[in-house]
Amino acid sequence: MKTYNKHPSIYLIELATRDPIKIQIVSSAENTPLIEHDLHELLLDASACDYSSYVHDNGTTFIKIECMVSEEEKERVWDLIRFKHRRDCNISSEPRTFYE
């Protein structure tokens, strides 16, 4: 049996005030407009995402998108991006959670 030293409502407040989570999406340059469109629909402030590009050894250009999001936003982004763009991008987050 678990014992609590704090009132249960304190745990709800702690969950609501978690630190932001950094998500990172790496995609081919051609797929970036579609992902960007989805991010603008999912995030409160998609304009705060950072974009950088790099060229892979094989000459392919990739775009890395990094956004700081809430836990709820992370869940929505994770679900939709993995569903719609699974073949075209990689998505990761920090801190990592057990189901990733």
Nearest-5° angle of CA 47, CA 50, CA 53? 130
pLDDT of residue 49: 93
pLDDT of residue 16: 53
pLDDT of residue 1: 46
Write out the two tokens for 99. 């189901």
Write out the two tokens for 89. 């991008």
Write out the two tokens for 62. 């990739």
pLDDT of residue 93: 86
Q: What is the pLDDT of residues 47-69, one digit of tens each?
A: 889 999 999 899 889 999 999 99
pTM (whole model) above 0.75: no
pLDDT of residue 53: 95
Residues with pLDDT less than 70, the chain: 1-17, 96-100
C-alpha 56: how far from its chain's center?
Answer: 22
Please classify residue 18 by burial: count the beta carbons closer than 10 Å to its beta carbon, then call 0-12 exposed, 13-18 middle and 19+ buried.
exposed
> In the chain, how long is the greatest CA-to-CA distance?
57
Task: Locate the domains of the chain by residue range.
Answer: 20-94
Contacts of 3 (CB under 8 A, 6+ apart): none
Supply the CATH classification number for the domain 20-94: 3.30.70.120
